[in-house]
Amino acid sequence: MKRKITLKQIARELDVSISTVSKALSGSKEISEDTTQKIQAFAKLYNYKPNNIALSLKNRKTKTIGILIPEIVHHFFSTVIRGIELVANKRGYNVIVGLSNESFTKEIINMEMLANGSIDGFILSISKETLLKQDYHHFNATINQGMPIVMFDRVVNEVECDKVIVDDFNGAVKAVNKLIQNACKNIALITTMDYVSVGRLRTQGYLEALENNKIVADSNLILKIDDSLDVENHLEILENEIQKFFELNKKIDGVFAVNELYAVTAMKVAKKLGLSIPEDVQVIGFTDGVLSKHATPTLTTVSQHGQKMGEQAANLLIDRLESDNTEYDQYIVNNNPKSDFIKLVIETEIIERESTK
Amino acid sequence: MKRKITLKQIARELDVSISTVSKALSGSKEISEDTTQKIQAFAKLYNYKPNNIALSLKNRKTKTIGILIPEIVHHFFSTVIRGIELVANKRGYNVIVGLSNESFTKEIINMEMLANGSIDGFILSISKETLLKQDYHHFNATINQGMPIVMFDRVVNEVECDKVIVDDFNGAVKAVNKLIQNACKNIALITTMDYVSVGRLRTQGYLEALENNKIVADSNLILKIDDSLDVENHLEILENEIQKFFELNKKIDGVFAVNELYAVTAMKVAKKLGLSIPEDVQVIGFTDGVLSKHATPTLTTVSQHGQKMGEQAANLLIDRLESDNTEYDQYIVNNNPKSDFIKLVIETEIIERESTK
DNA sequence: TTGTAAGCGTTATCAC
DNA sequence: GTGATAACGCTTACAA
């Protein structure tokens, strides 16, 4: 087994100094044609590659991005990672992944683990527990140490940093408008608890669309699911809750759900109750994942463009990392009120499938 | 903005030497009670945390694991990552993710990028293109440099390393046996091209089960899908292919598919053709993902236990990393024929749902 | 009890 | 044209 070769070893073998080797390999013309040739040939033969860690230490930058997300077994988040990895790689960065598992503590531990030199900046989406606690000190602490953060999807005003969000509000408006245009009179909303910002925004969009169309919102037609407890049989519970909801509100002829799971479950329940889709009930979900494409009937959804969000977030972060940092630092130092942070809004798009007319 | 504080700065502030600070912080009793107190208090105040990169360079280990997978937007792979991250984190490791995107070249580039000091070892699953080319030199080169690899799911005999696989063969046997017990007479197989090892093994399991039950395999009942080209409308193509297959083989009363997408699509086609499930056709898939749980009817599957695979793989790798390496190195040096590499086989399990009787 | 120095692998500056 | 040296941040013999 030949351990990776270092400059030192090459120097020793070729009886030159380490700095000569370093220069020769970087093609410096300080070094004679001859020596350069010899050294490069030798290095190639032994497949020399500079040690990343040493470079990181020297340059005080690791060329790696830390991703911190609540959950990886989730289509949306994996598409975001794919987007991040895509541009990160293209721009010479690696990607290190931490999972908060929706836990406040794990989020903090993970951040601290990565913030100690392992990465140059974060791309993250806030855990539910953190949103619930509304404790964002760890984000601000990280930023104050000079490590930039880009937040996506689950973001929060209390932290000043670049953000990439999908236009949840307008996405919801579009979806509900579509249902209204399709002649739905009693449109139900299936949403999450309000502390999840995206759920709240989509709920607001729903209300806005109704109002714009002079429809009075009926609170009975709004079902808020509490998914904070991750119990074993949450699928059953969900189904039961939705079924009860349908039975209490027989007049429902349209459903807007803030994620595809709720939407698909609603379709299932509706079918079970003898309703046909889209004839009796039309359904639109949010997030264009696997379920939407393969449900029967296939589900009309508001697409979130996860991969695009990831790409934009990565570009934002790398731009910041590679721009002259003085400006940024200055901002942090002065706590300058006029923020130059960017908030990118990714437009949503309705993907029409079979669950709407 | 206060940049992260270093030992040097603490030393300067407190007017002691760097090594004194280092020792005091690690609780060495070489240092007097007094100084230790003072230094620890100061460090705490300034939230000192040792720089990971410096530690990595010094210790020649990074405490991070490199994961290299073909695709992240894939339920199975994300469960594996979750498993890896879980134990890695518990054992003090970070996880860095590279995606080959099923490409041979990207696999190599990614490996080289990570093998230059960024990580201590790899956990990976081979890309389709690599399997097709049967060129595994990059894996062996990495191993020869003293960097351990654990392969999972898509593994290959040509590379000597620890492996974690699911018992594809027996999983398939179990599935087909179940169909036979459920009185299916004409069981179709929907599989991938043979170069994907898991597809091949599952196909063999199918054949074995038939033979064990004295059923003569009918090659017309085997559909091999070529998914090597990742085209835009592959879903449609898939559906058409399967539909043609069903139309040509009206007698099919059972389907075993090597992944859940094929299974779900088969169900869809069957329903379209007026067949009811499970009355007319029973279907079993492989891989227990989102689709299986939410299809209508819900799909009976052979569960792959991705998270468990990830956990085992991580434990295997970390054990190897933390064991005294002399043995391992010795093995590599001598090219010792009696391999002490471990091949863990994860048992599959049939999860019964509505698509079978 | 504290400090000095070497070393992990690089690169950059400066001297010869 | 080549080499010595310092520095990145840390740990650890060894010296004082």
Q: Please report which confidence band the pLDDT of residue A329 belongs to, taking 50, 70 and 90 as the band edges.
A: low
* pLDDT of the residue at B87: 97
B56 interaction partners in chain A (CB closer than 8 Å): 53
Pair of tokens at residue A207: 């209300």
Q: Which nucleotide is nearest to A22 (CA to C1')?
A: C11
Minimal Cβ distance to B53: which of A53, A145, A290: A53
Distance of CA B214 to the CA centre of its chain: 35
Q: Please report which confidence band the pLDDT of residue A233 belongs to, taking 50, 70 and 90 as the band edges.
A: confident
Mutate to test the interface with B, among A55, A73, A326 (most CBs of B within 10 A): A73
Q: What is the pTM of this model?
A: 0.91
Taken in order B121, B124, B127, B128, the sign of the CA dihedral is positive
Domains in chain A (CATH in brackets) are 7-50 (no CATH), 62-166+306-347 (3.40.50.2300), 168-303 (3.40.50.2300)
Residue B210 DSSP code: H
* pLDDT of the residue at B3: 78
Pair of tokens at residue A280: 């009796």
What is the residue whose two structure tokens read 């594809």?
A: B168
| Whole-angstrom distance, CA of residue A331 vs CA of residue A338 | 9
Q: What is the pLDDT of residues A15-47, one digit of tens each?
A: 999 999 999 999 998 999 999 999 999 999 999
* pLDDT of the residue at A198: 80
Q: Among residues B248, B175, B166, which one has the least CA distance to residue B210?
A: B175
Spell out where chain A has E strands: 64-69, 94-99, 121-124, 149-152, 162-166, 187-192, 222-225, 254-257, 282-286, 300-303, 343-346, 349-351
Sheet holding A222-225, edge to edge: A222-225, A187-192, A254-257, A282-286, A300-303, A349-351
Q: Please report which confidence band the pLDDT of residue A330 belongs to, taking 50, 70 and 90 as the band edges.
A: low
Cβ contact A66:A123 at 8 Å: yes
Q: DSSP per residue over B42-56, as a string?
A: HHHHTT----HHHHH
Average pLDDT over residues A85-103: 96
- CA dihedral (B237, B242, B248, B251) in degrees, to 10, reads -170
Pair of tokens at residue A67: 């991703």
* pLDDT of the residue at B195: 80
Question: Is the confidence at residue A337, as pLDDT, over 80?
Answer: no
* pLDDT of the residue at A334: 52
Q: Is the CB of A19 under 7 A from strand C?
A: yes
Minimal Cβ distance to A290: which of B95, B115, B291: B291
* Number of CB atoms found within 10 A of residue A32's CB: 11
Q: Among residues B140, B108, B148, B141, which one has the least CA distance to residue A47?
A: B141
Distance of CA B337 to the CA centre of its chain: 27
Window 298-337 of A: residues touching B by CB (8 A cutoff) are 329, 332-333
* pLDDT of the residue at B2: 72
Q: Which nucleotide is nearest to B17 (CA to C1')?
A: C3
* pLDDT of the residue at B199: 85
Nearest 5°: CA angle at B143, between B140 and B144?
Answer: 85
- In DSSP terms, which residues pair with A346 in a beta bridge? A166
Question: Is the confidence at residue A231, as pLDDT, over 80?
Answer: no
The helix/strand/coil state of B295 is coil
Residue A343, φ and ψ in degrees, nearest 5: -120, 105
How many Å from the CA of A58 to C1' of C12?
11
Positions of strand C less than 7 angstroms from a protein CB: 1-5, 7-13
Query: Which of the two residues, B227 and A14, has the higher pLDDT score?
Result: A14
- In DSSP terms, which residues pair with B64 in a beta bridge? B94
Chain A nearest CA to B214, separation (Å)? 36
Measure CA to C1' and name the residue nearest C9: A54
Cβ-defined contact of B117 to A294 (cutoff 8 Å): no
Mutate to test the interface with A, among B73, B103, B305 (most CBs of A within 10 A): B73
Cβ contact B267:B295 at 8 Å: yes
Average pLDDT over residues A54-82: 96
Minimal Cβ distance to B85: which of A99, A116, A118: A99
Cβ contact B256:B45 at 8 Å: no
b/e map B189-216, b = 16+ CB within 10 Å: bbbbeeebbbbbbbbebbbbbbeeeebe
Residue A81, φ and ψ in degrees, nearest 5: -55, -45
Alpha helices in A116-167 (DSSP H): 128-133, 137-144
Mutate to test the interface with B, among A5, A72, A291 (most CBs of B within 10 A): A72
Cβ contact A332:A146 at 8 Å: yes
Q: What is the pLDDT of residues B255-285, one digit of tens each?
A: 999 999 999 999 999 999 999 999 999 999 9
* Low-confidence residues of chain B: pLDDT under 50: 337-338
The helix/strand/coil state of B72 is coil
Q: Is the CB of A51 under 7 A from strand C?
A: yes
Q: Which nucleotide is nearest to A117 (CA to C1')?
A: D9
Question: Is the confidence at residue A225, as pLDDT, over 60?
Answer: yes
Window 136-165 of A: residues touching B by CB (8 A cutoff) are 141, 144-146
* B97–A contact, CB cutoff 8 A: yes
The helix/strand/coil state of A285 is strand
Average pLDDT over residues A304-321: 96
- Backbone region of residue B112 per phi and psi (left: phi > 0; alpha: psi in -120 to 50; beta: other values): alpha
- CA dihedral (A245, A249, A250, A251) in degrees, to 10, reads -130
Chain A nearest CA to B197, separation (Å)? 24
Q: Respond yes or no on whether the N-terminal peptide bond of residue A278 is cis (omega within 30° of 0).
A: yes
Pair of tokens at residue A123: 């791309």
| Whole-angstrom distance, CA of residue A114 vs CA of residue B326 | 30
Chain B residue with Cα closest to A77: B73
Say what percent of chain A tops pLDDT 90: 85
